[in-house]
Structure 1
Amino acid sequence: MSDWTVPADRPDYDEAVEAALAKLDLETKADLLAGIDMWRTLAAPDAGLRSMTVSDGPIGVRGRFWTAADPSLALPSPTAQAASWDPALVRRIGHLLAAEARRKDVDVLLAPTINLHRSPLGGRHFEAFSEDPYLTGRIAEAYVAGVQERGVGTTMKHYVANDAETDRFTVDNVIGERALRELYLRPFEMVAAAVNPWGVMTAYNTVNGTTMTAHRELMDVLRGEFGFDGFNVSDWGAARHTVEGVEAGLDLAMPGPFTVFGEHLVAAVRDGRTTEDAVDANVRRILRLAARVGALDGVEAAVGGRIEGVADPDGLLREIARRSVVLAKNDVPAGDETRILPLHPDVVNRLALIGPAARDARILGGGSATVFPPHVVSPLDGLRARLGDRVHYAQGVDLFEQILAADRGFELTVHPVKKDGTALPAEPLANGDVKWMGYVPGGVTADEFDHALLEGRYTATRTGEHVFGTRGFGRHKLVIGGETVFEGDHDYAGDDPFEAFFGPGVERVRLHLDEGQEVAVSHEFAPFDFPPGFPPSVLFGLMHTEPRPDEDTLLREAVEAARGAEIAVVVVSTTALTESEGFDRPDLRLPGRQDELVAAVAAANPNTVVVVNTGSPVEMPWAGDVAGILLTWFPGQEGGNALAEVLLGAEPGGRLTTTWPKTLADAPVTEVVPTDGVLRYDEGVFIGYRAWQRRGTVEPAFWFGHGLSYTTWAYESIEAAAGAVRIKVRNTGDVRGREVVQLYLAPDAAADVPGGVERLRLAGFAAVEADPGEEIEVVIPIEERSFQYWNEEEHAWVRVPGAWTAKAGRNANDLGLSAEVG
């Protein structure tokens, strides 16, 4: 099913690990399990062990220093990566990330996220691959393989059932044994079996009464049953118990050094509450990781040789984004003879490009998945590079929700200042946010640090009232144009420590500025104290809001632009306050007046295409009124170029990895808010398309697996044999195209399974390309697990009784071929 390699441990690893372990005293071993700062482990030179660095995240490699001075390539979101349905492409994504990791001296990537799309309301929906465990597992296998083939470790996360963000530190997710095994554990099992991941991250949440960082039963499943032999790192700040954690196999409690291990673990051993043998078991896994990544003297890394970068990273980023785009709708407008897409540049004389996200690209989600890219190509940039002044831009609506980090028009730097008055060199900022997580530039210690000084200039982009503000838990002094406009404290009282880092900004002053006017800005910040349990971190922001335009005027201008153009392309999006780590979504509506904008543009021009720039499903009440819909997810830094290529003829390669409801009320699972601290997964195994098909009374907007092509396809034959299904498809259109052949298994309708059995299960898939008229034959293997369910009485996998039917087609509701399978 794959042609990747799995790096093997070298024969001398066991001996080297034991030799290093023998040179460590109890205190050093306990500190080794605690980390030394936000991203690094302890070095033990006497044992030949160097420090190792771990880093976020799934769409880029941030490195130790989260700063625009050291930018990171920004890839498309995991939902986009998985929408390719192409493990070979995802393997190449892994190679790119490994090269980035090596460039930034990172040993372990804190990715991939292989939680499921249980509900469309999940705040980090964009950071996970799919609603289906099999597809999630296959994509994750390729991701891990690609990264580790180049000698960089990975961590499957978040183990397990971190499928929503509300009360994520305290929620108890109560999940039946069958659903846990068949859905939420399944991707971890698949990855562990296929590619030997070097790490796992245990989640904040509790499962069935036990916090995951101390969940011995589920760690025993991972290690004992699934064969996982890597190290186990806590999510940041998730470790709560010293003895229970170490004995459950938590190997690294991060961030360090103020964790439940270290001196607390030494005391537990001295007091007899746990044993040094238990500590040694965890240390061995850290030392084996060190051997694998080349951090242990005397042995070679699992992957030797130089790690080469990707020759054309921007080209690969465009390819990934292009192949993730889902063509959801492509109609023939009234009075025309051809489908709206692709556009033909030789006949497009005027194109109206509309929407805030068309100019200010929304390329990634918030939280751990955020990086500072070296550049960003917006849809406006991408289309103007190809069509020039034939593209006419109109904003359409104002998506302002609250004051945000200073951005357009600002040129900013920041530097630390020591208590003795020494100012260290300044570094550039991408925007007004300063995120020194677990470090201060120049190696300034917590005892030496006095304050940070952000300085620069702002050139007003509009005439009118500009709002300036601050963000951050500490003391602020804000100076605009030489005048101190705020000097005071910003306190914080909450349960989520990340709120102190990333919470909302506060308005401090309103100033009238004329367009083009320059003013000097200065923002001095000193934290009250560094957050408990975290290394020294300085996180604050200069905030700003431009004068707000009149939305009615913006709407009228957009409608006029659409009316005067042959084609109208409207880019709609979510915002940083809609999809991010740390909170779930209250609804599936597009922010602001974007629905009204699309409806008005579509009424003015029947040739309207809507580009949906979101990481997860949104309601589209205007879907029946527009000619075309493209889903681009969060497309990364080259998204604008990729979108232009697809609009102008490049095949949109994506297929949905999650079912899109028409409305939130239609969605099968909408409960993400705990009741009295408990969130019950009462739906069992019925999430996603399995739930939609079981209910059978409501049609979604688009089914799991849906995605159109610029050509047409005929499914010609299917033949089932032992362990595999052979399928023939033909390109019946006029252009070369790409198809994702999807194979599902349907059990006997009379099959008697406690709790019920799904009508369909995804069992395999294959992405193919063909020229016009060309026939392609694919052979898709079937795993025995696809015929089984988890029997809660026997605590074992059992085959679902009765005959099975293999069904093949274009999505979970369009399966034109079928054959019985043994």
Structure 2
Amino acid sequence: MPSLRRSAAGAAVLLAALLPASPPPATGAATTAAERDAASGRDRRPWLDGSRPVAERVELLLGAMTTDEKLNMVRGHGLALVPRGRVKGIPRLGIPELRMHDGPHGVSDVKGVTAFPAPITLAAAWDTALARRFGAALGAEARGKGVNVHLAPAVDILRVPQSGRVWESFGEDPHLTSALAAQEVRGIRSRNVIPTVKHYVGNNQETDRMLVDAVIDERTLREIYYPPFEAAVVAGAGAVMCAYNRVNGAYACENRKTLTDDLKESMGFDGWVMSDWLATRSGQRAARAGLDQAMPDDPLFSANLRVGLATGSFPEARLDDMARRVLTPMIADGVFETEYGSPGRNVRTAAHTALAREIAVSGTTLLKNRDGLLPLSKGTGGIAVIGTAAHDDVQITSAGSGRVLPPYVVTPYEGIKERAGGEVTYTPGDGEGEAGLRAAADAAREADVAVVVAGLVTQEGEDRTSLRLPGNTDRLIETVVAANPDTVVVLTSPAQVLMPWTGKVRAVVSSFLGGQELGNALAAVLFGDADPGGRLPMTIARRASDYPASTRRQFPGVGLRQVYSERLRVGYRHFDAAGVTPLFPFGHGLSYTTFSYRGLSVSGTTVRATVRNTGSRAGVAVPQLYLRFPGGAGEPPRQLRGFTKVRLAAGQSATVTFRLPERAFQIWRGGRWATVPGRYTVYVGASSRDLPLRGAIRR
């Protein structure tokens, strides 16, 4: 699907939105635009004229560039820390320097920025409008720090829960990931910053990531792993970052099939492909395959191209295409006209702090609430907050290139203590051996309610070797619940963990990685100031062996070949197809009120249903639509095809509408998207396993 941004009409509309309105014609000496341009010499650089179409400006500029200037645009220059990467500007032509920086939930490893919740927390919010606002805030802070190319969003599908970077993306489902990524891209672009979607493609583990061959069949690529990239392309992502790993034999940054045939030709991407940092392995071969820019600094890359141009082994037309692809989003996204800040600037704002808290609240997911232990009432007496993750070792981000330095962190203990009316104590408990467990039991026994916070951090370059909580955390939880049955377990984890104690505790809450406002957001949910807004963007299994057999056998690592033999059965698709009951299903999350679903109606490809708040307090519902394909399509039993988020007062109803595009009914067959004729079953409900409404669509 071609990028809507780069069309002539789309570009004109975009420029009108991005650039100041042209002043009305004026008379008098040196007052008209033409006279001012002539006086400044600007008329000799017509590509700087914002009233011209993007494509025309690009071609005019390209025609004025020397070979050396084109080669300048296709490699980084210097291993800068801030920004993380740069491409030198060309002053004589008015081309500004490109300044690139991570990361997925804030400008990484610099001071003076907001530490937003991790993208996996945003994914749990299931809220596209919130994703767009997050993208706009991310773009604004990047711009304020002098960054004009932000290396986000990451859209790698959560194939295996052990993967070290799952926190950077949006979970296991391509539809949910696509919807959120597209809005984040639009938000980033609204601040005249170029979004870079990553890591293309098959980057689903950290083990052997520089060498491993992700063996993925074409249909699985098209239906599971490509859709988020395609959605980002349609939303206007100016750059795509190719990954370290191999894909079906060829390295991702020199893979003609994935880069040129699929991304550029099939998906219509006309921005540039940059390498992940130090992922470039060749010069002409990579460029011929579709790599447009080697990062962060690779003089051998451009030198190799220069030799090829001189000897005739590398076509000049391809160099023109590489430079054109870099220049197009620079002009379309207003980089030439926009003023950017500096690395030392403090870009935090009160609005961004409030947004960080809102995302954390919206992504907080109530997994279990037996006998209505939550929300805690005003009359709740003593509260024992237990676990180092509650205060001494709080997890709000993970390690690697995407790490954000928070200006402060409101810990769970601090948030609860500030909000509670009664006495609140803190006991580390874990990491202190038998004495720590005894202290935790004593604290829990003396309190009315115990809140155990269990944390886990993952990192780039390393996968987890176990799905269990670290150290003696499981034993700590068992000890506390034995001392006080009114125990709430709060998980601050980037992905799934095993929960052998779930049947014994009354309430389980997942905050994922909640950013600098974690404690305030958690307290707001625990005390009922806000309804828990989160729904799971992943399936949580009862046992490690319940996850797909292919990933259990092969991950992490068997040599350097990772066969995606589960094919389309990723996440809940596997659990449904195998008839395995999860501990908590994809899309699951409880409210402090109750909802009913009724009145399903189908008209063509439009589906409507009524959601009613049947409880006594306001709450958040996330209606979800799943499709079952006709027999013979070879698809998993059900697939998410629509969702929305509604906030309803007690007794209030809302009719939600899902309009399904033709792609919702298509599979990849015979080298193209094809609609499968027949009867589709439509399901609407609260999760992938709670679908009370059923209807049919014929195609």
Q: If the length of structure 1 is used for normalisation, what is the TM-score?
A: 0.75
Once the two structures are superposed, the pairs formed by residues 464-475 of structure 1 within 5 Å of their partners are: none
Return the match for 2:383 from 351, 356, 366. Answer: 351
- Structure 1 residue 558 displacement after superposition: 0.5
Question: Are positions 1:741 and 2:623 aligned together?
Answer: yes
Matched, 1:390 2:423: yes
**Aligned counterpart, 1:239:** 280
Distance 1:556 1:243 in 2: 65
What's 2:352 paired with? 313
Find the aligned partners of 2:441 and 2:475 in 1 and give their Cα distance.
11
Asked if the contact 1:326/1:631 (under 8 Å) is kept, the reply is yes
| Aligned residue type for 1:820 | A
Contact 2:193/2:335, CA 8 A, preserved across alignment: no
Q: Which moved more, 1:591-600 or 1:72-81?
A: 72-81
The Cα of 1:163 is off from its aligned counterpart by 1.0
Task: Tell me which of 585, 601, 604 is aligned to 1:722.
Answer: 604
Q: Does 1:654 align with 2:654?
A: no
CA distances 1:718-770 after superposition (whole Å, capped 9, x unpaired): 0111121000011000100010000001123xx113xx321101110111111
Q: Which residue, out of 191, 200, 203, partners 1:162?
A: 203
Alpha carbons 1:34, 1:254 under 8 Å: kept: yes
Which of 342, 367, 375 is residue 342 of structure 1 equivalent to?
A: 375
Shift, 1:801, TM fit? 4.0
Look up the match of 2:468: 589
Deviation, 1:100, is 0.3
Tell me the distance in 2 between the aligned counterparts of 1:809 and 1:14.
46
CA positional deviation for 1:677: 1.6
Higher strand share: 1
Residues 101-147 of structure 1: CA deviation (Å, up to 9, x unaligned) = 11101101101111101111111111110211111100111111111
Which residue of the partner structure matches residue 181 of structure 2? 140
Q: CA deviation at 1:219?
A: 1.9
Q: Could you list the runs of 5+ residues in structure 1 that have no partner in the other structure? A: 333-338, 399-549
- Equivalents in 1 of 2:491, 2:91: separation in Å? 52
Partner residue of 1:40? 86
| Distance in 2 between residues matched to 1:249 and 1:123, nearest whole Å | 28
Q: Does 1:605 align with 2:611?
A: no
Residue in structure 1 matched with residue 434 of structure 2 by the alignment: 552
Secondary structure of the equivalent of 1:53? Answer: strand
Gaps of 5+ in 2: 16-49, 80-84, 341-346
* In the alignment, structure 1 residue 52 sits paired with structure 2 residue 98: yes
Alpha-carbon distance between aligned partners in 2 of 1:558 and 1:787, rounded to the nearest angstrom: 54
Q: Per-residue deviation at 1:260?
A: 4.2
Equivalent positions of 1:86-101 (< 5 A) are 86-101=127-142
CA distance in 2, matches of 1:259, 1:628: 57
Q: 1:664 aligns with which of 530, 535, 544?
A: 544
Q: CA deviation at 1:682?
A: 0.8
Identify the residue that residue 591 of structure 2 maps to in structure 1: 709
Write the letter of the residue equivalent to 2:171: S
Contact 2:114 2:348 in 1 (8 A): no
What per-residue deviation string (whole Å, max 9, x for no partner) do you get for residues 266-296 of structure 1? Answer: 1222232212221111011222233234444
2:498 pairs, out of 599, 613, 619, with 619
Whether the aligned pair in 1 keeps the contact of 2:112 and 2:348 (CA below 8 Å) is no
Secondary structure in 1 aligned to 2:189? helix
Name the SS of the counterpart of 1:120 in structure 2.
coil
Tell me: CA distance 1:216–1:301, structure 2 relative to 1, closer, same or farther (3 Å). farther
2:571 is aligned with 1:675: no
For the structure 1 residues 99 and 745, does the alpha-carbon distance in structure 2 shift closer, same or farther, using more than 3 Å as the test?
A: same
Q: Which residue of 2 aligns with 1:287?
A: 327
Equivalent of 1:759 in 634, 637, 653: 637
Residues 8 and 302 in structure 1, CA contact (< 8 A), matched pair in contact too: no
What's 1:776 paired with? 654
Distance in 2 (CA, whole Å) between partners of 1:363 and 1:47 is: 44
Partner of 1:806: 682
**Which SS does the other structure have where 2:130 is aligned?**
helix
Residues 433-453 of structure 1: CA deviation (Å, up to 9, x unaligned): xxxxxxxxxxxxxxxxxxxxx
Aligned equivalent of 2:238: 198
- C-alpha distance in structure 1 between counterparts of 2:65 and 2:673, whole Å: 43
**2:695 maps to amino acid:** A
Tell me how far apart the structure 1 counterparts of residues 358 and 159 of structure 2 sit (CA, whole Å): 28
Q: In structure 2, what residue type is equivalent to 1:273?
A: S
Q: 2:667 aligns with which of 789, 800, 816?
A: 789
Q: Residue 25 of structure 2 aligns with which residue? A: none
Instruction: For 1:617 and 1:34, locate their aligned partners in 2 and report how far apart those are by CA, in whole Å.
Output: 38
2:366 corresponds in structure 1 to 327
RMSD between aligned residues: 1.9
Aligned mates of 2:63, 2:641 — CA distance in 1: 48
What's 2:61 paired with?
Answer: 20
Q: Give the CA deviation at 1:820.
A: 1.1
Per-residue deviation, 1:301: 5.8
Mapped contact 1:322–1:646 kept (Cα < 8 A): yes
Distance 1:151 1:672 in 2: 40
Render the CA deviation track for 1:20-42: whole Å, top value 9, x for unaligned. Answer: 33343323322321111231111
SS of 2:503's equivalent in the other structure is: helix
- 1:26 and 1:639 map into 2 onto residues whose CA distance is 51
- Which amino acid in 1 is paired with 2:161? P
Q: Tell me, what secondary structure is at the counterpart of 2:240?
A: strand
CA gap of 1:310–1:742, structure 2 versus 1, over 3 A, is farther
SS state at 1:95 partner? helix
Tell me the secondary structure at the aligned position of residue 324 of structure 2: helix
After superposition, the Cα gap between the structure-2 partners of 1:153 and 1:589, relative to the gap in structure 1 and judged at 3 Å, is same
Q: For 1:235-274, list aligned pairs within 5 A.
A: 235-256=276-297, 258-274=298-314
SS of the counterpart of 1:764?
A: strand
1:309 positional shift: 7.9
1:115 is matched with: 156
- Shift of residue 388 of structure 1? 6.5
Provide the secondary structure at the position in 2 that maps to 1:250.
Answer: coil
Residue 177 of structure 1: aligned partner: 218
Residue correspondences, number: 637
| Post-superposition CA distance 1:584-643 (Å, at most 9, x none) | 111100000000000010011110000011000000110000000000001001111100
Deviation at 1:151, TM superposition (A): 1.3
Q: Which has the larger helix fraction?
A: 2
Structure 1 distance, partners of 2:680, 2:112, is 51
Moved more, 707-716 or 665-674: 665-674
**Secondary structure at the counterpart of residue 625 of structure 1:** coil
